[in-house]
Structure 1
Amino acid sequence: MSLSLRHARLSALLLALCLLFTGQALTAPQRAAAADPGYLMVHFTGEGSTNQQMYLSHSTDGLHWNDLNGGGMVLRSTVGTRGVRDPAFVRSPDGSKYWIIATDLCIGCGQDWAGSINNGSRNLVVWESTDLVTWSQPRLLNVAGAIPDGRNAWAPEAIWNPATNDYVLYWATNVPLNGATKHRIYYARTSDFRTITTPQPYIVRPGSQEIIDTQIVEMPSGVGNYRYVRASGDGQITLEGSNSILGTWTNLGNLSGIGLTGAQVEGPMWMKFNGTNKWALYVDQYASGRGYLPVVTTNPSDPASYQIPASGSYNMGGTKKRHGWILNLTSAEESRVLARWPNTAANRLQSYNFQDRYVRHTNFDVRIDPGVSPAEDAQFRLRPGLAGTGTVSFESVNMPGYFLRHSNYDFQLVYNDGTAQFAADATFRKVAGLADSTWSSFQSYNFPDRYIRHYAYELRLDPITTTTGRSDATFRVTN
């Protein structure tokens, strides 16, 4: 072989090796970026008017959870009992619409258990969205009013039924019937969560046995013998299988074999791990007050396959997770959710010239006051501006979705309606304080000659031309 030929072959070999390693370097980030998106849990956290609201948590692996929004609520019910429990996500088959449906119930804030069992709300609370981050105002959906002597409506769930091309909405209602007053599961059909068909009995246990919590998961072909498996809290965590949502269901057993009975846990919540035929059935440890525990299985229809993971192999995050629902996210959904609810700190705005006073909302009006109670009325999250980069918007901590907004140069706390006008009115540029550059002032986005200031303790949007005005328009962002 000639020397020149050897050099040519050696050069070709080196070039091939370079291309190989270059290709690996270029494709490795693409493979990492193609990793499955994570999971979104909606839940409540306990009793009282603050904990019985909507909270979100995110997980990348389905077992380790991070609280979104700094562990604060993301939606607050302003209808019915003004409290919500047992939420469920519903995603339309084409992914163009989402709903959250929840129990209208607020224990310890105007209701007790006896009253809510025997004369509770017959309504569900419903939120609606087209993007999973901008939600409608809550509304009430009466589901138990048409049930003779139906006394409440608890723990709603819904699943798309391809057999009828609509949703099967199901929930528990306490009803005296056939000599027994107990909770039974009823169902109705709906296409929009605004109107429903006449409720019908769905799951009734014999004798005096109640059933309150139930959730259905659809199985992929080849796993178990049933297309659907449901888990219910009925004295046990009972598993049943069926090939039709409204068809006949077969009792498969329960979780007592691993020491989990209905006396210990409730609120079963399904989750399928991405990319594998493996599921977690989360159960709420209500009896011991510890929130959710994952139980894992590769065949939901086989009670013997369920296992409790070692305690160090999962982490539920900083807040207690109570009866909720888990959504497997798409990449686009995950990006939107994480951008909307980062763990932004809760802050207060302290007045420069009345330093014992802070910006607060009261009956949706906005002013500066001392000694604000509850303290959350004076707490806001400084979000990226709704209307432009390099700006801020002020979202209420205890009224999430509500922002400080000017209208006719007066300020109110208003729910974000998603319009460009709202975004502009609720957006400000944070600049050096007009009275002290170590503090801050906030310039209007759409009226840049005007600033947030207080006048007679009320918040206004004014042009600033005097020394007093500069002091009135200066604030400190503090925790």
Structure 2
Amino acid sequence: MSRVLARLGAVSVAACLLFTTWSVATPKEAAALDPTVGYLMAHFTGESSTDQQIHLAHSTDGLRWTDLNNGGLVLRSTVGTRGVRDPALVRSPAGDRYWIVATDLCIGCGQDWSTAINNGSRNLVVWESTDLVNWSAPWLLNVAGAIPDGRNAWAPEAIWNPATGDYVLYWATNVPLDGATKHRVYSARTADFRSITAPQIYISRPGSQEIIDTQIVEVPAGVGAYRYVRASRDDQITVEGSNSILGTWTNLGNLSGLGLTGAQVEGPMWLRFNNRNEWVLYLDQYASGRGYLPVLTTNPSSPGGFRLPASGSYAMGGTRKRHGSILNLTAAEQSRVLARWGTTAASRIQSYNFQDRYVRHADYDARIDPSVSPAQDGQWRLVPGLAGSGTVSIQSVNFPGYYLRHYGFDLRLEANDGTAVFAADATFRQVAGLASSSWTSFRSYSHPDRYIRHSNYLLRLDPITDAQGRADATFRVTG
């Protein structure tokens, strides 16, 4: 199960939770949805009480992600442990209803890992919406209470099953059975995510081998030999195929040939590109703390054809994304989501003492130049600081997930690697301008005696001791 959580601010949650009571959802026949044009990811970001909530990110190409709500939380759980992890986004076949189903777990919020494993919540947390924007109040769905000595309920997923006309909901529960106490994946059927059929063992590995994270993707006819493919994290990233969600599954191999095993990655998350038969299997690099890595394939049922992405071909945004799921968005859905939780407007950063020059990146170095071309090289989003509240980080507009950070006191543009060191080096306090209080200066978070300044037009981090330094370290954030 992913070890991360979301970091979303709860300022406007009350406005989102407009619907507190909902009629029981009756599954409708599948509808031909409008063409999909974008992607929405639900995820969590870390281990704090605000990180272990629902965060959202958006992408237009499936590989470069932008945090929505400026990286703040979108939905906060007010039930159970009051924290959530591992959210699954579910759309009805008719496209008229959506659910988020998540693990009821908040590590460090009165519960440690030992308790979570051996005496955790038997519930999942569920939200419901008709538009992806206005969400019901959350409710608890008890899925493991009927499992004899079931000790928790983790990492839920759900998929519509046309064979039965309802959803197959599946999750992991730690339970002593047949001489082994371990996590196995259980499944049940549901029409409304308010009640379920009796849980059944869905996936169990031999001996003491656990399995927690698994996600199924439906594959179109003509691609591979199976209609459904699932990727699971056990001691490997195991790939299996089946022509029936509740039928027999065939082991197709694993990703150890890419150096990716269950010891390095977890939280498999599928995405099918909107405009072609190509897929991404996102894997959370939990062992190194670097967040999601995309693995590409044109045939999900052929593990030998999976490939790692080219360097620089993807960017995961400003927050570290942990175990979640991705929904392909229609144009109408995308418009609603971006209108509600769109990102901060782009800005330029103007030099105080060279007012024809603006901060820009060039070959990943940071400098001030006149007449920046292309213009987006000189456009930035000032987003909530990666390392601390009341701070900012400076994110590139045309390289989402890349930030200005100092390295050896030189300012450069680099991709967020998810580490605490990067977060600190890419975080600043926006203060009154050292040369003019109506302008702005940026004080380093990790070296509070130093400020961003230009020297020979290059940006660096220096202590400021004289009038020249104060002028060099003063800027204006403009539209």
The percent identity for this pair of structures is: 79
> What's the counterpart of residue 70 of structure 2?
70
> What's the counterpart of residue 234 of structure 1?
234
> What's the counterpart of residue 310 of structure 1?
310
| CA shift for structure 1 position 67 | 0.3
| CA shift for structure 1 position 343 | 2.6
| CA shift for structure 1 position 131 | 0.5
> What's the counterpart of residue 178 of structure 1?
178
Residues 43-442 of structure 1: pairs in structure 2 closer than 5 A:
43-343=43-343
> Partner of 1:193: helix, strand, or coil?
coil
| CA shift for structure 1 position 109 | 1.2
Distance in structure 2 (CA, Å) of the matches to 1:176 and 1:280: 35
Distance in structure 2 (CA, Å) of the matches to 1:48 and 1:329: 29
Task: Using the TM superposition, name which of 122-131 and 303-312 deviates more.
Answer: 303-312
Tell me if structure 1 keeps the 8 A contact 2:35–2:331: no
Tell me if structure 1 keeps the 8 A contact 2:282–2:293: yes
Give the letter for the 2:146 counterpart.
Answer: A
Distance in structure 1 (CA, Å) of the matches to 2:108 and 2:344: 29
RMSD, aligned CA: 1.5
Q: Deviations over 1:326-369 (max 9, x none)?
A: 00000100000000102359xxxxxxxxxxxxxxxxxxxxxxxx
Distance in structure 1 (CA, Å) of the matches to 2:255 and 2:247: 24
> What's the counterpart of residue 357 of structure 2?
none
> Partner of 2:248: helix, strand, or coil?
coil
Distance in structure 2 (CA, Å) of the matches to 1:120 and 1:266: 20
Give the letter for the 1:254 counterpart.
Answer: N
Give the letter for the 1:279 counterpart.
Answer: W
Distance in structure 1 (CA, Å) of the matches to 2:252 and 2:35: 35
Give the letter for the 2:274 counterpart.
Answer: N
| CA shift for structure 1 position 247 | 0.3
Distance in structure 2 (CA, Å) of the matches to 1:279 and 1:321: 19
Distance in structure 2 (CA, Å) of the matches to 1:149 and 1:91: 32
Higher RCO by CA contacts (8 Å cutoff, separation 6 or greater):
2
> What's the counterpart of residue 25 of structure 1?
none
Distance in structure 2 (CA, Å) of the matches to 1:108 and 1:227: 41
Tell me if structure 1 keeps the 8 A contact 2:214–2:231: yes
> Partner of 1:118: helix, strand, or coil?
helix
> Partner of 1:339: helix, strand, or coil?
helix
Distance in structure 2 (CA, Å) of the matches to 1:132 and 1:50: 21
Give the letter for the 2:140 counterpart.
Answer: L
Tell me if structure 1 keeps the 8 A contact 2:35–2:330: no
Distance in structure 2 (CA, Å) of the matches to 1:35 and 1:102: 27
Distance in structure 1 (CA, Å) of the matches to 2:311 and 2:82: 35
> Partner of 1:64: helix, strand, or coil?
coil
Q: Deviations over 1:371-423 (max 9, x none)?
A: xxxx989xxxxxxxxxxxxxxxxxxxxxxxxxxxxxxxxxxxxxxxxxxxxxx
> What's the counterpart of residue 402 of structure 1?
none
> Partner of 1:335: helix, strand, or coil?
helix
* Poorly superposed stretches of 4+, deviation over 6 Å: none
| CA shift for structure 1 position 53 | 0.4
Distance in structure 2 (CA, Å) of the matches to 1:279 and 1:376: 37
| CA shift for structure 1 position 311 | 2.6
TM (norm. structure 1) is 0.65
| CA shift for structure 1 position 275 | 1.4
Q: Deviations over 1:416-435 (max 9, x none)?
A: xxxxxxxxxxxxxxxxxxxx
Structure number with larger C-alpha Rg: 1
> Partner of 2:287: helix, strand, or coil?
helix
Distance in structure 2 (CA, Å) of the matches to 1:173 and 1:130: 30
- Gapped regions of structure 1 (runs ≥ 5): 1-33, 346-374, 378-479
Structure 1 residues 376 and 123: CA distance shift in structure 2, 3 A: farther
Structure 1 residues 376 and 309: CA distance shift in structure 2, 3 A: closer
Distance in structure 2 (CA, Å) of the matches to 1:342 and 1:44: 18
| CA shift for structure 1 position 35 | 9.0
Give the letter for the 1:42 counterpart.
Answer: A
TM (norm. structure 2) is 0.65
Give the letter for the 1:300 counterpart.
Answer: P
> What's the counterpart of residue 437 of structure 2?
none
> What's the counterpart of residue 379 of structure 2?
none
> Partner of 2:202: helix, strand, or coil?
strand
Distance in structure 2 (CA, Å) of the matches to 1:140 and 1:99: 13
Distance in structure 2 (CA, Å) of the matches to 1:130 and 1:37: 19
Give the letter for the 2:331 counterpart.
Answer: S
> Partner of 1:57: helix, strand, or coil?
strand
Distance in structure 1 (CA, Å) of the matches to 2:160 and 2:148: 27
Structure 1 residues 188 and 302: CA distance shift in structure 2, 3 A: same
> Partner of 1:115: helix, strand, or coil?
helix
> Partner of 2:308: helix, strand, or coil?
coil
Distance in structure 1 (CA, Å) of the matches to 2:35 and 2:211: 39
| CA shift for structure 1 position 245 | 0.3
Q: Deviations over 1:121-150 (max 9, x none)?
A: 000000000001000011100000000000
Distance in structure 2 (CA, Å) of the matches to 1:222 and 1:199: 33
| CA shift for structure 1 position 307 | 0.6
Give the letter for the 1:242 counterpart.
Answer: S
Q: Deviations over 1:266-313 (max 9, x none)?
A: 000000001111000000000001110000000000011111102300
Give the letter for the 1:57 counterpart.
Answer: A
